[in-house]
Amino acid sequence: MMDGLDRDAAVAAGMDPDRLDALAAMLDRSYVQSGKLPHMQLLLSRDEQPLLSITRGAARDDGAPLRPDALYRIASMTKPVTSVAFMMLVEQGLVALDTPVTDVIPEFADVRVGRANRSRPARPMRMIDLLRHTSGLTYGLQRQTPIDARYRKLGLDEFQQKRTSDQFIAELATLPLEFSPGERWNYSVSTDVLGVVVERVTGMDLESLFQSRIFAPLGMTDTSFILADDKAARMTDAWRLEESGVRVVADRGARSGWRRTGRFHSGGGGLISSAADYHRFARMLLRDGELDGHRLLSTETVTAMRTNQLPGGSDLAGLSSAMFSEADYQGVGFGLGFAMGLKGGEYYWGGVFSTYFWIDPVERLIGIFMTQLLPSSAYPIRAQLRQGGAQAIMQSRRG
């Protein structure tokens, strides 16, 4: 992968190289040199052609420099992959968006609503509710209700669990929903449940299915749920920002928890990947479901995924009850796996370790940003990335 700015390619793609250079310098100065982030990797492309690729900072606490082929815990950037896998099954006629979740996960048949755990849902939970987070499920990290407190106590948010996927569902089915499906939006373990749906419908575990049906066709050779021994040297440390403002190591790359083979593959947050690999995944989405002769999804399906699917055409500001998510709320919709701007049409998502991607299907822009700092809400870097990319456009494709 190139390192730096390809000025000639930027001009040819209708982008201002000086503004891209200024964006890179600002990110380096404000976040890496200042010590706010341990490291960063940014890959920005237009028409699938990389224009800006920068790698800065230390990969590990011992000061080892970040490598261009570094591996990262992408956390909730796993969700779009799981959503693509599910939509592939929809196209095969094996399941549908309006299929009741209980058709595949009968353990949810007696789930109730509310902290009293008595009322039945006003309507069944459907597969579309899992894709767009209107299921009534939650995350323990929301820290708002006695229900999410039970999630924390049971460890239902954890990427690596000792439970099997069946045991995960069994535990989850003992807890009530926060609200009846479709009534509100709440960032949650919905995509973990969707991953279990994919496993049960196909009879395959997520690692095997992702490798054979998504990663191999797309040439994503460095993306998996498990860190292989021969790739361990490329795994970064992950840090956590304490309330005091001190940054501490949360997971060491050399002996990362991702090196262990887990019993449960988290479709909501378990993958590791590289900037180059996730760029290939994003290129497939930008190309409406196809890359290098391998078609994963139809154009119509990808269009539906990046179209607002919230009930009544609402935005997150009007429908959300979540304290935490990986997106802003005002003027932001949610499709089948990621959020999108209701005005510009760009779609995106991120992970709790501050990783991020965005795609502008009109301007043909892709941005992949990798770092490893908990929580992802620490700094406003995501908005700065999208704004910096948009401001560098000299020749717009809009209207």
Q: How confident is the model over 331-345, as pLDDT tens digits?
A: 999 999 999 999 999
> How far is Cα 130 from Cα 374, in angstroms, rounded to an integer?
25
| Cβ-Cβ contacts under 8 Å for 6 (sequence gap 6 or more) | 50, 51, 52
Segment (H or E) for 191: helix 190-202
Residue whose tokens read 């949360």 = 250
- pLDDT 10s digits, 32-88: 999 999 999 999 999 999 999 999 999 999 999 999 999 999 999 999 999 999 999
Q: What is the DSSP letter of 119?
A: B
Tokens representing 330 are 């005002």
Tens-level pLDDT at each residue, the chain (399 residues): 668 999 999 999 999 999 999 999 999 999 999 999 999 999 999 999 999 999 999 999 999 999 999 999 999 999 999 999 999 999 999 999 999 999 999 999 999 999 888 899 999 999 999 999 999 999 999 988 999 999 999 999 988 888 999 999 999 999 999 999 999 999 999 999 999 999 999 999 999 999 999 999 999 999 999 999 999 999 999 999 998 989 999 999 989 999 987 789 999 999 999 999 999 999 999 999 999 999 999 999 999 999 999 999 999 999 998 878 888 889 999 999 999 999 999 999 999 999 999 999 999 999 999 999 999 999 999 999 999 999 999 999 987
| Omega before residue 380 within 30° of 0, cis | no
| Cβ-Cβ contacts under 8 Å for 44 (sequence gap 6 or more) | 20, 50, 51, 52, 53, 365, 366, 367, 368, 389
DSSP-derived 3-state class of residue 229: helix
Give the pairing of strands 238-241 and 373-374. parallel
For the residues of 329-384, what is the DSSP string, one character each? -TTEEE-SSSEEETTT--EEEE-TTS-EEEEETTTTEEEEEE--EE-TTSS-HHHH
**Inter-residue contact 138 to 145 (CB < 8 Å):** yes
